[in-house]
Every structure is written in structure tokens, then in C-alpha cells.
């Protein structure tokens, strides 16, 4: 009761008019947060997913196990509808552990290295070649085939630390990993090694997907930031003996396999053709438990529905939690979801993706939002979120899995959950992305923030 | 240059008027953040303090070593004045590792336990007595001496998880540790054990200070939250055999010793009698490296001055970084600082304390701020901080070390740096409070936020 009183005082202090509706919304949000913080289940669900199932890359036994367990979890919560949505997914496997070393004359310096997802393997004997260090894809063009051909291209542009949000640093450095191998292949490179996409100076290679486009696939791997600095220093100091690199990767792409998005629904009491989706991705990289990426996201998504049931909240619209499959190396789950929603003529009001880690919530970003929308939503709802320190309502990206709805459902508002971004890339796509690095309250505050936003959208729509 | 452009766009989007002053402030803040994020030194300084010096409770060899090293660090930065301020501090020592177990009939269940700071030891043979579980100090009064006398009082009120800011949960549970032992002593208790002040379910006893006031000292110790739950369950199930507890602590309070606040100054170019102070505390609990509590605070404080020097910023007022001694078990450093400032007739505009951990900045709280002040500062400066996501400018507490200025300098604005609060009490006052749990960028963003606020105060004062 004391906390409710605080809520009202804060509203008063902030000058929000005491309309009956604002009062109702404020009380409901307080109930949502209390339920998440006092009776929350997402943390223990996440523990199970990470510790009992673990890595779950598309096509793996772990992925299949996670699908079955997730459906059971949703069934257990007694949602109105729980089902699997079939989707064919790529099946890339890493194979035996990779090897890599820097070769200077007769000296070999071992380097921790991880093949990039969807990359091709080296020949069995591995690849050895001179290294050329680049800092952008554009340099390939400047240097031309004469300088690149037969070499191993080493992309070594670090994160730009001046960005306040770490996701922006990741975004702007990411082309080296995403498109670098394909581009270097065009100029005759024999392999690519990429500086891990992180601010952290550590000894983990951070894996992640790459796409060759229409270019000839060449072996591609990430090396740790410490190894990247070491290699770069050796290149700076090289005299007449050129610095070479050896890598051996053993990955392969097997035939596509059938997998599933796992979907749970609470039926709308008024609009049974209108949907609000909340989701994250169930698959993870093979090297990690996939705790923050994206175990936290799926567990927050199902927690939203659990909270509504626990509070007896009957939404006006259908609310759906979607555990997308194959975000990491193909996005097939997201594509399938949008395609099926179009086929079924579903009307989607909004979709919210949580795939930036289970850290303290800061707010939400709204894709395709007009300035008027941002002004309106801040005027109406910012104060409600201020009490929970999750009130940054800004224009910005949403997420990979809900992205395809942009084409199929141009009227749906696509929304990204925005937690604190600073620690995400320390552990992203490494064996350090484990349950122990998730804080219970941070995870729960995120789930409650998302449940609150969906409640407000369900009640009032998104016309600003 | 690109980021500067972004800063201006954001200002424009947010509707801040393009006064020349706002533009100057915005550019300066961008420079401060760039310096902290690209050339920051607080993280490596913290590494040294934690790893080469480590625990530094008042009166210990570690504390003395940290004073000497801190002075050298400041000397090395070439500040205008670096000096030690003498202060007599208590010298409490833990002694041999404590022992504790739950006794049920002939069964003993071992429990990790840590004496509370400033507590007295048990007799050499330890203390064994029946346990009575309480959830508040008020219950002592309700139950009275007849129920308490001769027993070990077990305070077991957990954190109220409904608080959004973890510091509020700590604040409201804290009386059990701070004042519980003294209060229980009044009713004839023979010892007190306290549930650790944390949300985390872990096996660490979280130590911390206690004060008996004028009551007779009795032995007092913290037990882990897991042990507290276990003991509570045993008490619920006890039949005719009462649940007893055994503890043996070996602490003692030695004579006070001379120690020091370490102070560095950049002289003001206009007002050589006016001061702005930024500080944290140099001492830490004996069990921990004192990384977040409060190595991060002192290293951010000195970083503020380093940033100004690096940017060639000449403040109008004297800017002082203060490493306070003895925050944890006596507050003598803070008391001495205020007393001396009064004696020296210094005029203090503002003092900022950073002692809530080196986590992502959220904003600042202003002690004794009027509603008009809060409205004014938000109107003038909130937008400048929004770009850095550190824009919560609210009324609230400041800190223990600058607290005494409230009496001696009633015109000084006392300000608390407010970082994200969720992880602090997971590691607070435990051996887990280590360097490895500090994120470099989070620490640097905090230092830059503080440097920005002090820059604004230095330029414009605090009249709103």
C-alpha cells in the first residue's frame, strides 16, 4: 500500500493530471511490477533453459529440446492457445575445435579463434597466407585485387568508444563480420579473420553470423581482441619476414531441417483478429548458453503472459508470446511468422522484440515512428514509466525477428525493448554468455516494463 | 565530428533553444565524454587499487598503503595542490575467521558468518543460545524482555523487492544491522545474527557496520541469505527440541590511529575561495577489494580533475577531489573535511558524492532541493544529459561523507551520483566486490557524467 501511495505522489509531483484513466493505468503498472518482482518466474525459467538445455543453434539437438520444453512451459501456464509453427532452418555445425596461429619465420603464436556462423571450412590442411590488416571494407576497393589476392584479410577496426549506446558501436563495426568475408573474397582473399565485435579486451573469440551474398565463400573466423592487438602489433613490426596466419576450421552446412517457432496466446476479449506480439529468439550460438542472447528475451516474453494471467487481466486484443527460431543464422523464424500472419489475414497492432539482453530497462524504441508519434507517446506515457526508470521512448530500431512484419503488416508498430547496453557485448556470442551473468531483478524489471507497455497499447492503442 | 553532429541534432530534436551557451555546453560535454571513453584512466587506476592494494579498512596496513599510493597518483597528475588531511580513525579488526552453526539436538549445521564492523567478540568459548526470529526492531518492544532475555535474536526481514531502486530496499532493511544489535541488547539478548542485506540468494555473509549507541555491546554477525532461509525453516519446524545457534567471533577495537583524507585540487581562475567537491571513500571492508564500494567512486573523482586537465579546462572555482577515509565504520573523514572547511572559512557551492557503485549512470539526486530547484535544473540541464542517458535529476539523498557539510555549510548543494542500482547489493560488503565485476565503460560514463555536472555548476552556478 505504501508503494501505491508513492506512485500517486510521484504522478502528482510530475504534474500528471489525475484523470481516472491515468490512475487506473498507474495502479495496473504497479501491480505488474509487483508481480514480476515478488512472484517472478522468468529467472528460474531461464536457469532451466541455460543449465538443463544450454546451447541451441538451429538444427541442433539442443534447439529441438528447447522447442519441446518451451511448449511444455507454455502449456503449463494454461494459455488459451499454445502451438508450434513449422519452419525450415539452416543447419550449420562448427565441427571439431578450430586452430589458429600467427606465423613469423619459424615461430608460431597460438590464437583463440572461432569460425563465423555459416562460414565454410578451410581445406583439411588449413590455410596459411600472409596477412593484410584492414579497417574497413572500403579499403578493399582502394587497395584492389593486386594487394589482396592470395592473402588473409584481417579486419581490425575496433568499436568506436565514443558511442554512448554500445549497440551503435556494434552496428557500425559489424559490417566487417557480416559482409567482410564476402567482400574480401571478391578481391581474391583466401580467408578472413575478424577482430571480435566487443569493447572488452579479452581472450574470447566472439562468434556470429556472416553472409557471402553471391560471392565465393572463403573461410572466415573471429579472433579475440587481445589476439587482434597482438597480431596488429606484429604486423607493425614486421621486417623482411612477413607475418603469416594459419587457420583450420572444420565447419559445414548440412541440409536444412524442420524446426519451430513456439507460440503462446491469450485471446482478446474484444478484438479476436487483432494481435500484439512480444518475442525473442529461442536459438543461440553453439558456444554459449545463450543467456542474454536471447534466453532472457524469450523468458521475458512468456513472463508477460504469465503476469496477465496471474493478475486476472483480460486483454482486449490477442496477446502473443513468440519464441522465434533461427535468429542467429538465417532469420527463418521471423520470416515465417510474418508470412503466416499475412496468410491468415491477422491484423497486427504492434510487435515488441526483446533481444538486447536482460539488463536494466531504459525504455523502448519505435521503428518508423513519426516525430508526432514520439511527442505524443512521451506526453501520454512517459510519466507512467518514469517511476520505473524505463521512460526513454524514442525513435529507433526494433529487431531482426519482427523486422519482416514491416513488409507484411505496414500498419504494425515495431518496437524494440531497450535495456542498458554497456555489458552486452562483453559476453555476446561467447562462452561467457551464461546464466550467472544475468541479474534476477534486472531481468524482472525488463519483463514488467514490457508487460506495462503492452497493457497500455492494449488499452489505448497507438494513435498519437 | 560525426558524434558532435549527432549531439546538435538531438538538441534540436528535443527543442532546446540554440543559444550560444547551450551550444558551448553541449560541445564541452561531448569532449568530456570522449576523453573519458577514449582516453579514460579510471579503470586501470581501479585495477591497481583493487589488485595491488586490495582491502583497506580504516587503521589497516592496506588503508595506509592506499593513502600513500593515492597521493602519488594525484601528484603524478600535476594538480595545483595535493595534500593529506589528518584524521583520527577507529581501528577495528576482525581477528581469526568466525565460526557459526545451527544446533538442533546433537546436530550441527555450519553457517558462513561474518562479524559486523565495530561489534564486540564473543567470549573465547563462543555463545550458544536459543534463537528467536524477528522481522523488525519494533517486535523487540512487543515481545519484551521476558521473551528476549538470554536468547540470540535473529533479524530476518528480507529486502522489499517492490522497490524499484535497490538502495531503497537496502535503506529500509538496514536498521536491523545498523541498530538491531544495540536494541536487542536493551532487552537482554546475548547476541544478534542478521540476514545479509541483499536481494541475492547467495552463500556470502554481507558484513557492514553496526552501532550500539549507549547500549551494552553484544556480539553481532551477518549470515548469508541462504543460511537465513535455512535457519528460518528450521525454526518453523522446531518441535520440543529448540533450535539453538552457536557463534564465535574474534573481533576487537584497538586504539584509534592517525589516517588521512587524500585531496587534490585544481585552483579556480575567478573565485579562489569557492569550492566544488567531488569525492568517494578510500577505505573498504576488510573482506573485499572494495571495487564498487568505493574504489570506483574515488577513481571517478580523480578522473574528473584529470579530464579537465587533459581538455585544458580552467574552472572558475576551485575543484577538489576528495578520497575520504573511514566511511565504512565511523565517518571520521567526512566529519573532519567539513570541520576543516568551516575553520578555513571556505565557501562551498556544491559537493558530489559517488558511493553507489561504478554502474551505468542514471543521473543525480539533490539533497535539500526545493521543487522549484528541481523544476529549474530539469528545464535548464536535463536535455544536455539526455544524450548520455544520465538525465534523472531528482530530489534525494547525497552521501555519508559529504553529509556533515549540511551543518557546516548550509548553502552548499549536496548531490548524490546515481548509477544503476540493481547489481550493487549482490556484491556489497562481500569478497565478491572485486575489480572483475566492474565494467570499464559503465565506470567511465559515470566519471564523464560527474565531470559534466561539475562543469555546468562551475560555469552557471546552481541558482534555479
| Predicted pLDDT at B18 | 54
Q: Which string of DSSP letters, residue by residue, matches B165-180?
A: SHHHHHHHHTHHHHTH
Q: Are residues A362 and A224 in the same domain?
A: no
A244-274: string of b/e by CB count within 10 Å (b at 16+)? bbbbbbbbebeeeeebbbbbbbbebeebeeb
Residue finishing a domain among A250, A285, A312: A250
* pLDDT at B2 > cutoff 50: no
Please indicate whether, in this complex, the C-beta atoms of B389 and A362 are within 8 angstroms of each other: yes
- Which residues of chain B does A200 touch, with a Cβ-Cβ cutoff of 8 Å? 440
| Predicted pLDDT at A38 | 98
Distance of CA B290 to the CA centre of its chain: 10
- Which residues of chain B does A388 touch, with a Cβ-Cβ cutoff of 8 Å? 164
Whether the full predicted model's pTM is greater than 0.90, yes or no, is: yes
Q: Which residue has the cell 561531448?
A: B30
Please indicate whether, in this complex, the C-beta atoms of B161 and A441 are within 8 angstroms of each other: yes
Q: Are residues B78 and B197 in the same domain?
A: no
Please indicate whether, in this complex, the C-beta atoms of A422 and B360 are within 8 angstroms of each other: yes
| Predicted pLDDT at B197 | 98
B379 touches chain A (CB under 8 A): no
Please indicate whether, in this complex, the C-beta atoms of B164 and A420 are within 8 angstroms of each other: no
Please indicate whether, in this complex, the C-beta atoms of B362 and A3 are within 8 angstroms of each other: no
Alpha carbon of A160: minimum distance to chain B alpha carbons (Å): 9
A362 touches chain B (CB under 8 A): yes
Q: Are residues B294 and B397 in the same domain?
A: yes
- Which residues of chain B does A426 touch, with a Cβ-Cβ cutoff of 8 Å? 439
* Spatial distance between the Cα atoms of B322 and B276, rounded to a whole number of angstroms: 11
Mean pLDDT calculated for residue range A49-58: 98
Q: Are residues A300 and A365 in the same domain?
A: yes
A436 touches chain B (CB under 8 A): no
| Predicted pLDDT at B1 | 39
* pLDDT at B146 > cutoff 80: yes
Side-by-side strand order, sheet with B191-195? B107-110, B99-104, B243-248, B127-134, B152-155, B191-195, B220-223, B113-115
Alpha carbon of A423: minimum distance to chain B alpha carbons (Å): 7
pLDDT digits (tens, 9 = 90+) for A189-235: 999 999 999 999 999 999 999 999 999 999 999 999 999 999 999 99
Tell me the average pLDDT of chain A: 95
Please indicate whether, in this complex, the C-beta atoms of B441 and A199 are within 8 angstroms of each other: yes
Residue finishing a domain among B250, B276, B309: B250
Which region among A18-32, B6-20, B55-69, B336-350 has the lowest average model confidence (pLDDT)?
B6-20
Please indicate whether, in this complex, the C-beta atoms of A420 and B420 are within 8 angstroms of each other: yes
* Spatial distance between the Cα atoms of A249 and A153, rounded to a whole number of angstroms: 16
Number of domains in chain B: 2
- Name the residue of chain A whose CA is nearest to B159's CA: A38
Residue finishing a domain among A213, A228, A250: A250
% pLDDT > 70, chain A:
96
- Name the residue of chain A whose CA is nearest to B440's CA: A200
B200 touches chain A (CB under 8 A): yes
CATH number, position B405: 3.40.630.10
Cβ-nearest to B162 among A37, A362, A440? A37
| Predicted pLDDT at A4 | 45
Which residues, at least 6 apart from B104, have a Cβ–Cβ distance to it below 8 Å? B234, B238, B241, B243, B244
Which residues, at least 6 apart from A431, have a Cβ–Cβ distance to it below 8 Å? A204, A287, A288
Please indicate whether, in this complex, the C-beta atoms of A166 and B441 are within 8 angstroms of each other: yes
| Predicted pLDDT at A243 | 96
Closest CA to A132 of A146, A150, A152: A152
- Which residues of chain B does A387 touch, with a Cβ-Cβ cutoff of 8 Å? 164
Contact B181/B192 with Cβ under 8 angstroms?
yes
B423 touches chain A (CB under 8 A): yes
Q: Are residues B43 and B99 in the same domain?
A: no
Q: Are residues A265 and A408 in the same domain?
A: yes
Under DSSP, is residue A3 helix (H, G, I), strand (E, B) or coil?
helix
- Which residues of chain B does A166 touch, with a Cβ-Cβ cutoff of 8 Å? 441
- Which residues of chain A does B37 touch, with a Cβ-Cβ cutoff of 8 Å? 161-162
- Name the residue of chain A whose CA is nearest to B392's CA: A389
Alpha carbon of A375: minimum distance to chain B alpha carbons (Å): 10
pLDDT digits (tens, 9 = 90+) for A265-288: 999 999 889 999 999 999 999 998
| Predicted pLDDT at B4 | 45
Residue A445 backbone dihedrals phi, psi, to 5 degrees = -60, -35
pLDDT digits (tens, 9 = 90+) for A325-367: 999 999 999 999 999 999 999 999 999 999 999 999 999 999 9
| Predicted pLDDT at A401 | 98
| Predicted pLDDT at B19 | 80
| Predicted pLDDT at A122 | 98
| Predicted pLDDT at B238 | 87
Q: Are residues A316 and A443 in the same domain?
A: yes
Confidence band for A18, pLDDT divided at 50, 70 and 90:
low
Contact A280/A56 with Cβ under 8 angstroms?
no
Q: Are residues B159 and B276 in the same domain?
A: no
Q: Is the peptide bond before A294 cis (omega within 30 degrees of 0)?
A: yes
Q: Are residues B36 and B172 in the same domain?
A: no
Alpha carbon of B382: minimum distance to chain A alpha carbons (Å): 13
Alpha carbon of A438: minimum distance to chain B alpha carbons (Å): 10
Q: Are residues B244 and B268 in the same domain?
A: no
pLDDT digits (tens, 9 = 90+) for B210-236: 999 999 999 999 999 999 999 999 999
Q: Are residues A430 and A296 in the same domain?
A: yes
| Predicted pLDDT at B383 | 95
* pLDDT at A172 > cutoff 60: yes
Alpha carbon of B305: minimum distance to chain A alpha carbons (Å): 20
Interface of A with B in 112-141 (CB under 8 A): none
Contact B333/B327 with Cβ under 8 angstroms?
yes
Pairs of residues, one from chain A and one from chain B, whose beta carbons lie less than 8 Å apart: 64
pLDDT digits (tens, 9 = 90+) for B382-433: 999 999 999 999 999 999 999 999 999 999 999 999 999 999 999 999 999 9
* pLDDT at B174 > cutoff 50: yes
- Which residues of chain A does B38 touch, with a Cβ-Cβ cutoff of 8 Å? 161-162
A440 touches chain B (CB under 8 A): yes
A8 touches chain B (CB under 8 A): no
pLDDT digits (tens, 9 = 90+) for B177-186: 999 999 999 9
| Predicted pLDDT at A376 | 97
CATH number, position A147: 3.50.30.30
A1 touches chain B (CB under 8 A): no
Cβ-nearest to B439 among A37, A426, A445? A426
- Which residues of chain A does B441 touch, with a Cβ-Cβ cutoff of 8 Å? 161, 166, 199, 422
Cβ-nearest to B362 among A387, A389, A440? A389
Please indicate whether, in this complex, the C-beta atoms of A445 and B422 are within 8 angstroms of each other: yes
Alpha carbon of B188: minimum distance to chain A alpha carbons (Å): 33
Confidence band for A13, pLDDT divided at 50, 70 and 90:
very low
Please indicate whether, in this complex, the C-beta atoms of B33 and A3 are within 8 angstroms of each other: no
Please indicate whether, in this complex, the C-beta atoms of B162 and A33 are within 8 angstroms of each other: yes
Please indicate whether, in this complex, the C-beta atoms of A34 and B162 are within 8 angstroms of each other: yes
Radius of gyration of chain A (CA): 24
- Which residues of chain B does A13 touch, with a Cβ-Cβ cutoff of 8 Å? 371
- Look up the domain containing A243 and give its range: 95-250
Radius of gyration of chain B (CA): 24
* pLDDT at B205 > cutoff 90: yes
| Predicted pLDDT at B290 | 98
Mean pLDDT calculated for residue range B161-184: 97
B347 touches chain A (CB under 8 A): no
Classify residue B61 by burial, with Cβ atoms within 10 Å: 0-12, 13-18, 19+: exposed
Please indicate whether, in this complex, the C-beta atoms of A387 and B420 are within 8 angstroms of each other: no
Q: Are residues B292 and B441 in the same domain?
A: yes
- Name the residue of chain A whose CA is nearest to B386's CA: A392
Cβ-nearest to B420 among A3, A162, A360? A360
Reading the block at residue B135, the C-alpha cell is 522481522
Residue B19: count of CB within 10 angstroms of its CB: 9
- Which residues of chain A does B33 touch, with a Cβ-Cβ cutoff of 8 Å? 162, 164
Please indicate whether, in this complex, the C-beta atoms of B445 and A164 are within 8 angstroms of each other: yes
Alpha carbon of A386: minimum distance to chain B alpha carbons (Å): 9
**Across B340-463, where does the E strand assignment appear?**
347-353, 361-366, 392-395, 413-419
- Name the residue of chain A whose CA is nearest to B442's CA: A422
A33 touches chain B (CB under 8 A): yes
Amino acid at each position: 500500500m505504501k508503494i501505491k501511495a508513492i506512485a500517486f505522489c510521484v504522478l502528482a509531483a510530475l504534474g500528471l493530471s489525475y484523470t481516472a484513466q491515468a490512475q487506473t493505468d498507474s495502479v495496473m503498472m504497479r501491480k505488474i511490477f509487483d508481480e514480476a518482482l515478488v512472484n517472478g518466474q522468468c529467472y528460474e525459467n531461464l536457469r532451466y533453459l541455460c543449465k538443463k538445455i544450454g546451447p541451441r543453434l538451429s538444427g541442433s539437438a539442443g534447439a529441438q529440446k528447447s522447442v519441446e520444453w518451451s511448449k511444455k512451459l507454455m502449456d503449463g501456464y494454461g494459455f488459451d492457445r499454445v502451438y508450434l509453427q513449422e519452419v525450415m532452418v539452416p543447419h550449420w555445425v562448427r565441427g571439431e575445435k578450430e586452430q589458429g596461429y600467427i606465423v613469423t619465420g619459424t615461430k608460431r603464436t597460438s590464437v583463440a579463434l572461432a569460425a563465423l556462423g555459416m562460414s565454410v571450412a578451410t581445406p583439411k590442411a588449413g590455410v596459411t597466407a600472409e596477412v593484410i590488416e584492414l579497417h574497413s571494407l572500403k579499403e578493399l576497393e582502394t587497395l584492389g585485387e593486386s594487394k589482396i589476392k592470395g592473402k588473409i584479410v584481417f579486419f581490425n577496426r575496433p568499436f568506436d568508444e565514443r558511442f554512448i549506446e554500445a549497440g551503435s558501436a556494434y552496428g557500425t563495426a559489424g559490417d566487417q563480420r557480416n559482409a567482410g568475408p564476402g567482400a574480401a573474397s571478391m578481391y581474391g582473399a583466401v580467408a578472413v579473420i575478424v577482430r571480435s565485435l566487443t569493447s572488452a579486451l579479452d581472450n574470447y573469440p566472439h562468434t556470429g553470423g556472416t553472409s557471402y551474398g553471391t560471392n565465393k565463400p572463403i573461410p572466415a573466423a573471429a579472433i579475440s581482441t587481445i589476439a587482434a592487438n597482438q597480431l596488429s602489433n606484429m604486423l607493425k613490426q614486421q621486417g623482411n619476414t612477413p607475418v603469416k596466419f594459419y587457420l583450420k576450421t572444420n565447419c559445414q552446412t548440412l541440409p536444412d531441417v524442420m524446426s519451430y517457432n513456439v507460440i503462446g496466446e491469450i485471446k482478446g476479449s474484444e478484438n479476436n483478429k487483432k494481435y500484439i506480439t512480444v518475442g525473442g529468439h529461442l536459438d543461440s550460438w553453439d558456444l554459449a548458453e545463450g543467456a542474454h542472447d536471447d534466453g532472457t528475451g524469450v523468458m521475458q516474453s512468456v513472463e508477460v503472459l504469465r503476469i496477465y494471467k496471474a493478475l486476472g487481466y483480460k486483454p482486449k486484443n490477442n496477446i502473443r508470446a513468440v519464441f522465434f527460431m533461427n535468429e542467429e543464422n538465417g532469420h527463418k523464424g521471423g520470416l515465417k511468422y510474418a508470412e503466416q500472419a499475412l496468410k491468415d489475414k491477422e491484423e497486427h497492432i504492434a510487435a515488441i522484440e526483446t533481444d538486447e539482453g536482460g539488463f536494466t530497462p531504459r525504455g523502448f524504441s519505435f521503428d518508423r515512428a513519426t516525430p508526432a508519434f514520439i511527442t505524443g507517446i512521451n506526453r501520454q506515457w512517459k510519466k507512467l514509466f518514469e517511476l520505473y526508470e524505463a521512460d526513454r521512448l524514442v525513435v529507433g530500431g526494433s529487431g531482426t525477428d519482427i523486422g519482416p512484419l514491416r513488409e507484411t503488416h505496414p500498419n504494425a508498430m515495431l518496437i524494440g525493448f531497450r535495456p542498458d547496453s554497456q555489458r552486452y557485448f562483453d559476453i555476446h556470442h561467447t562462452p561467457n554468455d551464461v546464466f550467472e551473468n544475468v541479474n534476477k531483478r534486472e531481468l524482472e524489471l525488463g519483463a514488467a516494463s514490457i508487460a506495462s507497455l503492452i497493457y497500455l497499447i492494449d488499452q489505448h492503442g497507438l494513435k498519437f
